Amino acid sequence: MAASVSPPTFDPLDPAFVADPRPAYHRVRAHAPIAWSEEKRAWIVTGHPEYLAIARDPRFSMNMKDWEHYDPSVAPENDRLRRLNENSMSMSMDKHDRIRKIVNVAFRPRSVAKLLPLIERTLDELVEPCRPTGRIDLVADVAGPFPTRVISRMIGIEPNSAREGRFKELADDVIAVFSPLLSGVERRRAEASQEELLKLIDQVILEHEGVARDDLLSMLLEAESDGKSLSRDELISLVYVLILGGTETTANSFVLGVLEMLRNPDQLELFRTRPELRSSAVMELLRTQFPGFFITRYATEDVEVAGIAIGRGQGLLVSVHAANCDPRVFPDPDRLDITRDGRELQEVFGSGRHFCLGANLARLELSAAYAKVFDTLPNLRLAVPESELRYHENVAVRSLEALPLEFSS
Ligand code: HEM
């Protein structure tokens, strides 16, 4: 049965909400873990069991075309962009499982572990130039370029080349496309960047054809599932999804995680002195400081979840962050406790068939990045009062504009 009264409202653009959305999530969850919001025209999901039930149920789709309010006029007119959506594994469910099977191989723990030298080299390149100054802006100097460089090098773009620089600029522009605050001019620029990025990816694929190399693209060009390899359009969409899924999320998790550790010196001490806690620290920081707000789903038929009737075509805004701070599953949920153990910590990366493809890579990148800053920058501290930190206005990701830090050089 649907709750008749709307839940307490919140504004994803309110700086206080962005800095810490958990108090608002707790209020909404106390109203109902699945609550219909007239204002957002969607179910707001903040409970952990409810999140899992929805994420694991194939009757909920990621495709906006399944939404009752879908407006076909917002679909891209541009042919290349339309093909991008049609060939995306997240948007096209008939393609999803085949593409995932192919690409999963490259993201298994054993394949990802081989990337550690590349990840560490990339971190050295970014952090070491700052060392003599004793100051670092973690956002601009490290977190921003770090995951994009890793992905571009994984797909075989030459390190420190002009093309690598352009790839980073275009990836940044493309991510901005998701902000509803863009002016018409900014949106056109972002769309032009999207076009250029797709062309660049296409060109890199072309260069890989027939010349096998030891990188992700060569592996994807050769791999097949059920006797079928990836088409050119599927491959372009896939690389594009890796950029969208794997750059901002990792960069912002890292920045928010470092800030949260600096707020909790007892936990930082544990991190430094008990190496066996490092992998759970990565997950606990993601749980408490999740870098995003909502994942979306659309009911493809009438479905009942936890006694709530969700009608076909209705939209759901599912907060992974809220679910992972549900006190029914995590006692004292807002407290950072890197000794916390539990299978549930995995669920910061989603669940079910859309479970994060890059989870192993993200964990490796984050643990290497935390080790680099916490182990090698002595006496690390904020260079400004926390009240001066500013968050970006963006409904998709929680991100700081800058995180100025000082350390003993
Ligand atoms: C800390 C960093 C990251 C976080 C917190 C994160 C989180 C998530 C979550 C919650 C989902 C599920 C979305 C849903 O169910 O709607 C997801 C899916 C996905 N992620 Fe990540 N992610 C991270 C890093 C990465 C990286 C590094 C990559 C790739 C290089 C990546 C690629 C993807 C892809 C492709 C999907 C869609 C999978 C599918 O539809 O089957 N992510 N991620």
Q: Helices 232-246 and 145-154 sit at what angle, rounded to 10 degrees?
A: 160
Predicted pLDDT of residue 2 = 47
Strand 42-45 versus strand 135-137 pairing type = unpaired
- SS3 for 303? strand
Indicate which CATH number applies to the domain containing 228.
1.10.630.10
Residue 127 has pLDDT above 60, yes or no: yes
Higher pLDDT, 308 or 70: 308
* Backbone torsions φ then ψ of 101, nearest 5 degrees: -60, -40
Is 6 within the bounds of a domain? Answer: no
The amino acid sitting at 275 is P
Residue 5 in any domain: the answer is no
Q: Is residue 137 part of a domain?
A: yes
For residue 352, the tally of other CB atoms under 10 A from its CB is 13
Average pLDDT, the chain: 90
Average pLDDT over residues 272-299: 94
Query: What letter represents residue 240's amino acid?
Result: Y
Confirm or reject: Cβ of 295 under 6 Å from ligand 1: yes
Atom of ligand 1 nearest to the CA of 238: 35
The answer to whether residue 4 is domain-embedded is no
Would you say residue 265 lies in a domain?
Answer: yes
User: Domain count of the chain?
Assistant: 1
pLDDT tens by residue, 232-242: 888 898 898 88
| Substitution site in 45, 56, 102, 249 for ligand 1 pocket (most atoms within 8 Å of beta carbon) | 249
- Confidence (pLDDT) at 76: 63
Structure confidence at residue 75 (pLDDT): 64
In the predicted model, what is the mean pLDDT of residues 34-41?
A: 92
Q: How far apart are the C-alpha atoms of 59 and 98, rounded to whole Å?
A: 19
CA 350 to chain centre: 10
Measured distance CA(380)–CA(231) in Å, rounded: 48
Atom of ligand 1 nearest to the CA of 366: 1
- Is position 182 within any domain? yes
Contact 88 CB / ligand 1 (< 6 Å): no
- SS3 of the chain: helix, strand, coil, percent, to 5: 55, 10, 35
Residue 192 lies in a domain: yes
Residue in 66, 252, 288, 349 to alter for ligand 1 test, most ligand atoms within 8 A of Cβ: 349
pLDDT above 90 as % of the chain: 62
Backbone angles phi, psi at 304, to 5 degrees: -110, 130
Q: Is 90 in the pocket of ligand 1 (CB under 6 A)?
A: yes
Q: For residue 355, give the ligand 1 atom closest to its CA.
A: 12
Q: Which two tokens stand for residue 53?
A: 């039930």
Hey, which of 103, 107, 288, 357 would you mutate to test ligand 1's pocket, going by the most ligand atoms within 8 Å of its Cβ?
A: 357
Region 119-143: mean pLDDT is: 97
In a domain, 10, yes or no: no
Instruction: Tell me which residue range forms the domain holding 186.
Output: 15-406
Residue 210 burial (10 A CB sphere; 0-12, 13-18, 19+): exposed
Residue 247 has pLDDT above 70, yes or no: yes
Distance 344 CA to ligand 1 centre (A): 16
Using only C-alpha atoms, the chain has a radius of gyration, in whole angstroms, of: 21
Does ligand 1 lie within 6 Å of residue 369's CB atom? no
